[in-house]
């Protein structure tokens, strides 16, 4: 069967690089969506091993899978299932959601500072704080999200200014009411590396940099990170095919010279995108993928028993005119993850 290798030394390097910008106890490891396709439990366990104490996941199911590994876990997109387990917190994106929560729920209140996707409007901040205070809903954190920290623009500074105004209002409310102030977090991977520090906030949410990818403008500079994941396939069968014949659906896989073609157990059902028919894809060892990607397999000019399909999602993303996130998060959770 096909498998995914998680390179421990690469993750250790990335965490070390991140620690140059922030203490690791001030970092949320963003592990949502099966740790960006890397395997939630496997990758999360390694993050904890190398000093990261807090995590962000998508929903309660993911939180429960790693509840014993991290000190605090924030569910970023849970909307229905809430569990008042001591160290599980929930991101709240609207007054409506806030008012559906039970007493005792621990939350991080998200405020829209300019991305206009999720989060309450700043004009609703006092109402949210008041409601939480009166209904014993503990606001453990207040946060927002940068929309263009990885682009060469001044928008991040504009959003930071907006968030600092939010922080000021929250601290004033807490002082008047005599309640504990929450933590504040704004920076994502790009924001942390762009500023070089926490920049006065309490924590940062680091996702894509953990996995080894950061596509930053040259004027800003990109850190030297190492991709952690590689996708591997096992050979199903081999055959010799003579020059002039073709392989796969539509016969687009043309054979230019007599070749050995092998079939490997990876396909688009496993999350490997169909390679464009108008150009050849070369695997990391230089072998050519021939013809269209099928649901459960690919054909390659190779006789090897196993083969690395890709080990750099950024390079593959450029081929598809997409981003590394899409390449890695598509990988099926059914594929075995192996730490090497």
- CA separation for the pair 266, 232 (Å, rounded): 8
- CA separation for the pair 280, 159 (Å, rounded): 43
Burial annotation 77-87 (CB, 10 A radius, 16+ → b, else e):
ebeeebeeeee
Of 37, 89, 38, the closest CA to residue 63 belongs to 89
Q: What is the DSSP letter of 111?
A: B
Question: What are the structural domains of the chain?
Answer: 8-211 (3.20.20.10), 229-311 (2.40.37.10)
Can you give the pLDDT at residue 217? 64
Which residue among 161, 168, 249, 334 is the active-site one?
A: 249
158 φ/ψ angles, rounded to the nearest 5 degrees = -65, -45
Residues of the chain with pLDDT under 50: none
> Where do the H-state alpha helices sit in the chain?
8-19, 32-36, 40-49, 60-65, 95-98, 125-134, 155-177, 189-195, 208-211, 313-320, 324-329
Can you give the pLDDT at residue 152? 65
90 catalytic per annotation: no
Can you give the pLDDT at residue 157? 86
Which residue among 32, 106, 110, 167 is the active-site one?
A: 32
Asked if 66 and 57 count as a contact pair (C-beta separation under 8 A), the reply is: yes
- CA separation for the pair 95, 14 (Å, rounded): 37
- CA separation for the pair 240, 304 (Å, rounded): 14
254 catalytic per annotation: no
Instruction: Detail the DSSP E strand segments found in the chain.
Output: 3-6, 27-30, 54-57, 72-75, 88-92, 106-110, 138-143, 183-185, 204-206, 229-241, 246-247, 253-254, 259-264, 281-282, 288-290, 298-300, 306-310, 336-339
Residue 134: is it exposed, middle or buried by C-beta count within 10 angstroms (0-12/13-18/19+)?
Answer: exposed
- CA separation for the pair 55, 206 (Å, rounded): 9
Asked if 189 and 176 count as a contact pair (C-beta separation under 8 A), the reply is: no
């Amino acid at each position: 069967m096909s498998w995914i290798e998680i390179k421990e030394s690469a993750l250790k390097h990335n965490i070390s690089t991140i620690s140059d910008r922030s203490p690791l106890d001030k970092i949320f490891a963003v592990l949502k969506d099966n740790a960006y396709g890397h395997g939630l439990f496997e990758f999360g366990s390694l993050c904890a091993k190398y000093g990261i104490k807090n995590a962000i996941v998508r929903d309660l199911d993911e939180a429960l899978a790693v509840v014993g590994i991290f000190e605090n876990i924030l569910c970023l997109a849970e909307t229905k299932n809430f569990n008042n387990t001591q160290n599980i917190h929930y991101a709240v994106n609207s007054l409506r959601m806030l008012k559906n929560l039970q007493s005792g729920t621990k939350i991080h209140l998200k405020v829209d500072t300019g991305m206009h996707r999720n989060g309450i409007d700043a004009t609703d901040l006092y109402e949210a704080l008041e409601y939480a205070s009166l209904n014993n809903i503990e606001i453990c954190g207040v946060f927002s999200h940068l929309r263009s920290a990885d682009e060469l623009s001044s928008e991040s500074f504009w959003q930071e200014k907006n968030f600092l105004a939010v922080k000021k209002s929250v601290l004033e409310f807490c002082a008047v009411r005599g309640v504990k102030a929450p933590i504040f977090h704004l920076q994502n991977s790009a924001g942390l590396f762009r500023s070089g520090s926490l920049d006065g906030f309490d924590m940062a949410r680091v996702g894509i940099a953990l996995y080894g990818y950061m596509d930053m403008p040259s004027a800003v500079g990109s850190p030297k990170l190492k991709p952690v994941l590689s996708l591997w396939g096992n050979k199903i069968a081999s055959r010799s095919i003579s020059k002039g014949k073709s392989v796969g659906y539509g016969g687009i896989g043309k054979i230019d010279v007599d070749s050995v073609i092998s079939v490997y157990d990876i396909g688009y059902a496993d999350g490997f995108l169909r390679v464009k028919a108008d150009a050849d894809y070369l695997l990391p060892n230089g072998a050519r993928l021939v013809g269209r990607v099928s649901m459960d397999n690919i054909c390659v000019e190779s006789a090897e028993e196993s083969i690395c399909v890709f080990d750099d999602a950024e390079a593959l993303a450029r081929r598809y005119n997409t981003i590394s996130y899409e390449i890695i998060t598509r990988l099926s959770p059914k594929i075995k993850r192996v730490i090497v």
